Amino acid sequence: MGRPRLTVLLMVGACALTATKHSHALSLIEVMGQPALAQEGCSYGRGKQTIESAKAEAAQRLVEMMNPATIQQLSKTDQALIDSQFTEQEFASFVDAVNTRRVAVDFQQPYLQGDDTCVVAAVALAPPPSSDDIGDIAWEQGSSITIQVTGEGAADSTRQLSARQAAEMDAFARAISQVLGVAISSGYLEQSYTHLLAQDDSDSTSMVDIARRSLSSHSRGYISSWNEIAVQSMEDGRVQVVLNVTVEQEKVVTELSQILDQLQHPKVFVASEIPSVREAVIQALIAKDVRTTPQRAGSTFVVAIEETIRKVQGGKQLEVRLKVIDKTGEIYAQWNNDPSLVTLPGSDDSAENLAKIHFANELNRHELNQALNTAIKNVLARGGAVHQIKLSEKAAGDQVQLINLVKAIPGVSEVRFEISGEERHLYLRYLRDAAHLAQYLKPTLMIHHPDYQPSIQIVSDSSLDIR
């Protein structure tokens, strides 16, 4: 194959793709003088965490869209450019390299689209690193495995990391991701998500990939040792390192397996003003093998329903606006039905009958389940479900110290402390359930209170009470 010829591309510069709203099409753009495949990702809201969620969505969609069918939708000029760079087998290897973080994804500047924050993820069209660059990994059962990885990074004032430290963190994440990728591709973990695969192959694949990416971003506890082979300072201020990294293979694979197991069994609470609508939605979820719970406090998600009975010519229609939220009210997915599909003569039990007909519809059930799957993927992209920890005044102690100690727990993110009257609550994101979190909190609280041993009560899968 010849080398690529730079022809007219769809975007030049870092911030030019801002005109289209929620573009789902793969694009060919130019990044730092090189052709790159690009995909937009959006997340509802504003702020730093929303930007990170949009980045995760963009990276996920970029991999999902990198397939022959999508490539054929590009212009003939762009297709020719890609064909000049890769054979079919080489392009498959390129996609796998992007998916396993062996090829860096570049994120453009975020921009606003209505209520959403959007980011474009781009990956340069270049052959992926060979196995000689990253080390051949064959799946073998054992407690640990040592692999060679390359990491790149720039100084990050938000995380208080130098360029070299950021490069090391990137290398650690790549090492973990590669180990997990081999475990998945080898079929070793297939039994952990057979239920997900049975529901929807594309959704299950993306969920497994997001879970892997989320776990890879938390290297603490999974890297037992490492040593530096080479380090290079780059012209743009970034640093590249080559490391030999020893990954606690058994530990990290067990962790991913348990996360995938939790994905198969989210607890859902359905909130509705009309009992018949609530029951119809519950039955639709049960039909899709989703667990429902009668208690809001013990749920992973809340399906909050706003329903309206509309009077129209010839009878009544049911309008349903559904949001999938967490216990703090944050929205992760939304779905609206089409009221015009069913019209019934007005009667006292019309709401119940309308609800039964709408949610007996297989398409509506499928879309409801898709909304729940979207919520799960968005929660994973954010670092896990929100956990609520209720604390006594004595257990809380020095709030700043408590927050810093909890932030140091592997896998914990978005920690915040709130006081409402006599109540003190700590909110955080975590990939696992409250019982698993409690195991880390116990030694953390011993450091926080050397002379006081608080008691930890597990209230639900995502709630703790500490006194």
Q: Does an H or E element contain 259, and which? A: helix 249-263
pLDDT at 180: 78
pLDDT at 206: 55
pLDDT at 462: 86
Q: Where are the domains of the chain?
A: 1-128, 129-264, 267-375, 385-466
Average pLDDT rounded to a whole number, residues 366-393? 84
- Give, to the nearest 10 degrees, the angle between helix 275-287 and helix 350-360: 20
If one compares 66 and 107, the residue with the highest pLDDT of the two is 107
Q: Which CATH number fits domain 267-375: 3.30.160, 1.10.8, 1.10.3470, 3.10.450?
A: 3.30.160
> pLDDT > 70: what percent of the chain?
76
Average pLDDT rounded to a whole number, residues 445-467? 87
Range among 102-111, 175-184, 294-303 with highest mean pLDDT value = 294-303
Q: 114 in helix, strand or coil? A: coil
Confidence of residue 142 (pLDDT cuts 50, 70, 90): low
Residue 178 has pLDDT above 90, yes or no: no
Q: Report the alpha-carbon distance of residue 318 to residue 99 in Å, rounded.
A: 43
CA 124 to chain centroid, in Å, comes to: 23
Average pLDDT rounded to a whole number, residues 300-308? 91
Q: 310 in helix, strand or coil? A: strand
CB 112 within 8 A of CB 118: yes
Q: Report the alpha-carbon distance of residue 257 to residue 249 in Å, rounded.
A: 12
Structure tokens at 361: 């519809």
Q: Per residue in 222-275, pLDDT tens?
A: 888 899 999 999 888 889 999 998 888 888 878 777 777 776 677 889 999 888
Confidence of residue 37 (pLDDT cuts 50, 70, 90): confident
- Max distance between CA atoms of the chain, in angstroms, equals 77
The reported pTM is 0.59
Q: Per residue in 390-408, pLDDT tens?
A: 999 888 988 888 988 888 7
Q: In CATH terms, are 267-375 and 385-466 the same topology?
A: no
Average pLDDT, the chain: 77
In order of 279, 390, 392, the CA distances from 456 in angstroms are 35, 10, 11
Residue 354 has pLDDT above 60, yes or no: yes
CB atoms within 10 A of CB 459: 14
Q: Does an H or E element contain 362, and which? A: helix 362-382
Q: Report the alpha-carbon distance of residue 43 to residue 24 in Å, rounded.
A: 14
CA 299 to chain centroid, in Å, comes to: 19
pLDDT at 417: 92
Instruction: Pick the range with the lowest mean pLDDT from 211-225, 327-341, 386-400.
Output: 211-225
If one compares 266 and 282, the residue with the highest pLDDT of the two is 282
pLDDT at 296: 86
If one compares 341 and 201, the residue with the highest pLDDT of the two is 341
pLDDT at 432: 81
pLDDT at 452: 80
Q: 394 in helix, strand or coil? A: helix
Instruction: Pick the range with the lowest mean pLDDT from 42-46, 115-119, 335-339.
Output: 42-46
Could you name the CATH architecture of 385-466?
A: 2-Layer Sandwich (3.30)
Residue 32 has pLDDT above 90, yes or no: no
Q: Report the alpha-carbon distance of residue 268 to residue 293 in Å, rounded.
A: 6
Residue 427 has pLDDT above 90, yes or no: yes
